[in-house]
Structure 1
Amino acid sequence: MSNAFRDLLKKVGSGNHTSENLTREEASAATRMILLQEATPAQIGAFLIAHRIKRPIGEELAGMLDAYDELGPKLQPIATKQRVFVLGLPYDGRSRTAPISPITALLLCAAGQPVIMHGGDRLPTKYGLPLVEIWQGLGVDWTSLSLAQTQQVFEATGLGFIYLPQHFPLAQRLFEYRDQIGKRPPFATMELMWCPYAGDAHIVAGYVHPPTEGMFQTAFAVRGTQHFTTVKGLEGSCDLPRDRTAIIGLSTLNSDEPIERLHLVPRDYGFTTKNVPLESTTQLLNAMQSVLQGEPSELMQTALWNGGFYLWRCGVCPDIQSGIAKAEAFLKSGAVTQQLQKITQVIGLVTRSLAQRA
């Protein structure tokens, strides 16, 4: 048993009236002891549920990110004029609405904007459809690549994927605890802000509940993160909704305000107010293939809505409307499909090269 960890557990787990927030340094130490399994299983489970009940604060999330930076993997800087976008999405996947972020990532890469994604397999508590399965259905398998191989793919194509079971097994072990306690602990919030890139990055963090955005802002401020976007997205993802106003926070460098607020109404850009439901993985993949072929559909509308926003946000296009037009042109011309084929080919070359050396 770790006596040092027990003291931190007592601090967050003493009840509504006597529990205390951790300092940034304490939160980092607790996370480090959890990842390294220096705390006992009983201590870890108790901490995760107690911290959820207490509710985290931004300073604590900043400390947790410090530990992830220390112990976790990072893709190294690549030669690019664009600031790398890191898309933070819930690791436990999607169950109700069709995800579009892989198409968004391909579109951005085709336009010269590098993107990093991260996640694992079907994970608790939702056990929803994860990114890695969608990529596999599109012909891109990230699961067997080492970090060095992923770096090669990232350098050649502008797209990288940190796959937790392969690249960050210390964090992967924690999902058994999540399953047993049956609730998302504050680690699930922190992961949305995690940046597994050693260079200049722009972090895009999705969320569901408004208080989460406030925690994001505090954690980013504490850590000196200057470039970020917060999105009240579908199921906590970075995907912009079509059934309601998209609420978006933009980091600002030359303002006394913590963020600039955007309220984007889909109807104002010609989109209907309808989210595409997630019926099955097969149905989604078929719909995504149609989008890649430039065919009109409801999912194409979602792809254009998201693509237009992110092409503007990364600076490729001067405004959202021109971003939508560019997204449509890229999809109909086959440029996005070509980007997907390039990624598949590079992964094939990387894996064959390793096999030949072995």
Structure 2
Amino acid sequence: MSHAFRELLKKVGSGPHTSENLTRPEAAEALRAMLLQEAKPAQIGAFLIAHRIKRPTGEELAGMLDTYEALGPKLLPLSRRYHTAILGSPYDGRSRTAPISPLTALILACCEVPVILHGGERMPTKYGVPLLEVWQGLGVEWGDLSLAQVQQVLEATGVGFVYLPQHFPVAHAFVEYRDQIGKRPPIATMELMWCPYAGDKHLFAGYVHPPTENMFKTCLELRGMEQFTTVKGLEGSCDLSRDRTAIIGCYVPEIQDFERILLHPRDYELAGADVPFHSTPELIDQMRAVLQAEAGELLKSAIWNGGFYLWRSQVCPDLESGLAHAERLIVSGQVRDKLVQLATQVESQRLNYSAHP
């Protein structure tokens, strides 16, 4: 296999004039060989750097997603009124701005929109705060649960989290290479589009650089994804900023293109500075203040994001009603109660495992 992989490496690593893009099957095979360690370590490192320099194509990312779908875990379909929302966030976390997606997930779950997030531990190259650590601070310990237990929590509460070290160990073992090469490899872009769910879904994928959105579009079209929204979000996440105009791409299958939406927070009296991230304990205190409906910048960010996602998930007919509904859910204590329910369900699963390992 290392000899076969060398041929794929030669295609992407031959320099700016003679390198070639991989076909979708070739990209799928390349990632499979790397994940299963059939390629040699030197080959893996060389491929990741060469592929980063060449830049991935949407077709290559589609092939890599094919491999993730073949080797990775999948939560089973739910019978719900709304499609399950998949919130894609960079695996190397956040270091400058407070993450909002856990609050967004709780808001959506209050309205029967199931939400699945995924990620791992602190990860190169940023080593920012991962979502798992945020959930832990809120009293939700996902790390010990089997995939079957996550499925039960998802069915009971509407929130699920796929944790790489526990549920996709071959992908987690690949993290070491990210540290060794010191650069974010193209598979980090692919992970933003991964949907570890077998049912109907609506993918929300964040990005920083505009060319990434075009790669999303090509990749997801090739894979037949019809429900997806792109967000030029905070640090590449799908969290909307309140400090600038939100650039949203809503894919329209009929025209096979994006409907571009520009949202100005000032038009909804929600403009302001994005909340900086200083430490996890401070972030958790800020989130708990939001759950108590205490006035503050993070509360406004939660309403801005919650309202947007309620609208895009078809719970509310427009953004204005989405914002109003998100605020009601927080002020009434329903979002706080959803967190209590979630923490209770997760702890129950952990205790069941301890009693019957």
TM-score normalised according to structure 1 size: 0.98
Distance in 2 of aligned mates of 1:183 and 1:357:
42
2:101 matched to which residue of 1? 101
- Describe the superposition over 1:162-215 as per-residue Cα deviations: whole angstroms up to 9, x where unpaired: 000000010011111111111111000000000000111111100000000000
1:157 aligns to 2:188 (yes or no): no
Which amino acid is the alignment partner of residue 124 of structure 1? P
1:305 matched to which residue of 2? 304
1:218 aligns to 2:206 (yes or no): no
Residue 225 of structure 2: SS of its match in structure 1? Answer: coil
Which amino acid is the alignment partner of residue 136 of structure 1? Q
1:324 matched to which residue of 2? 323
1:349 matched to which residue of 2? 348
2:59 matched to which residue of 1? 59
2:283 matched to which residue of 1? 284
1:230 matched to which residue of 2? 230
Which runs of 5 or more structure 1 residues have no equivalent in the other structure? Answer: none
Which amino acid is the alignment partner of residue 106 of structure 1? L
1:13 matched to which residue of 2? 13
- Describe the superposition over 1:213-262 as per-residue Cα deviations: whole angstroms up to 9, x where unpaired: 000000011111110000000000000011111000001133x2511100
| Residues matched between the structures, number | 357
2:244 matched to which residue of 1? 244
Which amino acid is the alignment partner of residue 110 of structure 2? A
Distance in 2 of aligned mates of 1:221 and 1:244:
29
Residue 121 of structure 2: SS of its match in structure 1? Answer: coil
1:269 matched to which residue of 2? 268
Residue 272 of structure 2: SS of its match in structure 1? Answer: coil
Distance in 2 of aligned mates of 1:263 and 1:215:
20
Which runs of 5 or more structure 2 residues have no equivalent in the other structure? Answer: none
TM-score normalised according to structure 2 size: 0.99
Distance in 2 of aligned mates of 1:131 and 1:125:
16
Residue 204 of structure 1: SS of its match in structure 2? Answer: strand
Distance in 2 of aligned mates of 1:146 and 1:250:
34
Distance in 1 of aligned mates of 2:351 and 2:190:
36
1:40 matched to which residue of 2? 40
1:142 matched to which residue of 2? 142
Residue 218 of structure 1: SS of its match in structure 2? Answer: helix
How far off its partner does 1:357 sit? 2.5
Q: Is the 8 A contact 2:140 2:347 kept in 1?
A: no
Distance in 2 of aligned mates of 1:347 and 1:308:
26
Residue 262 of structure 1: SS of its match in structure 2? Answer: strand
Which amino acid is the alignment partner of residue 21 of structure 2? N
Q: Is the 8 A contact 2:141 2:347 kept in 1?
A: no
1:182 aligns to 2:182 (yes or no): yes
Distance in 1 of aligned mates of 2:208 and 2:140:
29
1:199 matched to which residue of 2? 199
Change (3 A) 1:99 1:121: same
Percent identical residues: 64
1:260 matched to which residue of 2? 259
How far off its partner does 1:4 sit? 0.7
Q: Is the 8 A contact 2:277 2:283 kept in 1?
A: yes
Distance in 2 of aligned mates of 1:121 and 1:112:
28
Q: Is the 8 A contact 2:234 2:241 kept in 1?
A: yes
Quote the RMSD (CA, aligned, Å): 0.9
Which amino acid is the alignment partner of residue 66 of structure 1? D
